[in-house]
Structure 1
Amino acid sequence: MAKCAHLDRLAADVEHGETLEAPRHWPLVFLDLDDVVAVNEHYGGLDALDAIRGKRIDADLVFERLWSPMAREILVDLHARHQGHLRWVISSTWRLNFTRAQLQEVMRRSGLACVADGIEPKERWSTPHFPGLTRCHEVLDWLRKHHRGEPYVILDDVYSWGRSAYIAPGVEVPRTRLVLCEEWIGLQLRHWPRIVAALSKP
């Protein structure tokens, strides 16, 4: 599969230290991490956090084995398919423990630089955190504030998203925008057609 193509223009810092923003019409990917990209077979979020803080002597191994190889390859290919014209919003609970810069560092050191470079800037980089509400509420709030009609897809897992239907029936996003992965398995090739379809139309 294709290698990760970097958008140097978007990754570079401008004079005042702010990252240049991607055009707002580019498609959006809402990305959960646990059970989507990180299946916790070897390492998980806390291992990655310790690694970037210099608390792991095996940091290189942590980054090498942090993600599911299949899921990582799918995200890299998705980036290549769109010639890098994707924007990424982190919906994972990792956003509660990592800053945007820390998560970008983790991704760059673990083979997902293409995602790191495309993470939305400022407050748009992640969905809000609403204790007591659901992942669906958080994504919908982000969309209400920032969505401008561009295509989007939500990559999540059955357990995390499934709580939404149980806790708040009737609060939902269009099913055609939602790709749910199985716990401990993560993103698979069978999800590819649904992802491509969601990102192909507003």
Structure 2
Amino acid sequence: MIRSIIFTDIDDVLVLQRTVDFDKHQAASITPKTAQQLLHKPAAEVLADLVGDGALLVITSNWVRFLDRAGFQRMFEGAGYPALGGALHATWSAPRAAAGTRLAAIDTWLAAHHHGEPYLILDDTDSGTGLRGSRHDLDGRLVLCRPGTGLHAGHLPAIRAALKVLPCGKTFIPPAP
């Protein structure tokens, strides 16, 4: 069964500028209360809607240095969105090399794990600038969120359009949930 893939950053996509007061080094011991405060509800609801349609998630954020798969699952569950943790792809992260870019990390992940599924990249206009003008952007597979606003329902038309088209240009019909 082919399921679409969503590469997502965390900061300014799912977690707004609240990270100034949050030490990511303590992320492994995140409480449900903190998770609820961190995850921006409109963003989590949009992502939960997409996961409900069968999308799988790949984390592209530097948060992967502080949380493992189980840590992300705990954070999503603590915030009230356990389906997000359950939707993590088997290869759930695309970490950057020490001097690498997010674009290179995503391209490396795709080269190793992509099987022709439709995909989308969610990032923010600050840290996602290296993705602008990339083949992903030119193919309509990049959605950049504004810092302080994050992912919201207004992004859904562009997201759904990208996830309906296979990389080969054919229309994708998602599996029934």
Moved more, 128-137 or 188-197: 128-137
Change (3 A) 1:71 1:45: farther
Q: Distance in 2 between matches of 1:141 and 1:45?
A: 29
The answer to whether residue 126 in structure 2 is matched with residue 162 in structure 1 is no
| 1:49 and 2:12 matched | no
Q: Which residue of 2 aligns with 1:93?
A: 62
**Alignment match, 2:152:** 188
1:134 aligns with 2:101: yes
Where do 5+ consecutive residues of structure 2 fail to align? 167-177
Deviation at 1:136, TM superposition (A): 0.7
Cα deviation digits, residues 54-91 of structure 1 (max 9, x gap): xxxxx3421221111211111122223x1xx2211111
1: CA distance, partners of 2:117 / 2:165: 8
Q: CA deviation at 1:153?
A: 0.6
Q: Flag structure 1 segments of 5+ consecutive residues without an equivalent.
A: 1-22, 53-58
Q: Please show how residues 6-45 of structure 1 align to structure 2 within 5 Å.
A: 23=1, 25-41=2-18, 44=22
Aligned match of 1:199: 163
Q: Distance in 2 between matches of 1:181 and 1:98?
A: 23
Please give the per-residue CA displacement for 1:80-117, whole angstroms capped at 9, x wherever unaligned.
Answer: 3x1xx221111111011111111111111112211100
Does 1:71 pair with 2:43? yes
Q: 1:171 to 1:75 in 2, by over 3 A?
A: closer
* 1:163–1:145 distance in 2 versus 1, CA, 3 Å: same
Q: What amino acid is the match of 1:146?
A: H
Quote the residue 2:136 is aligned against.
173
How has the CA–CA distance of structure 1 residues 128 and 64 changed in structure 2, closer, same or farther, with 3 Å as cutoff?
Answer: closer
1:102 pairs with 2:80: no
Structure with bigger gyration radius: 1
Relative to total residues, which structure has the larger strand share, 1 or 2? 2
Evaluate the alpha carbon distance shift between residue 36 and residue 194 of structure 1 in structure 2; reply closer, same or farther with a 3 A threshold. same
The whole-number CA distance in structure 2 between the counterparts of 1:137 and 1:128 is 10
After TM superposition, the score normalised by the length of structure 2 is: 0.83
Distance change in 2, residues 1:77/1:48 (3 Å): farther
TM-score by length of 1: 0.73
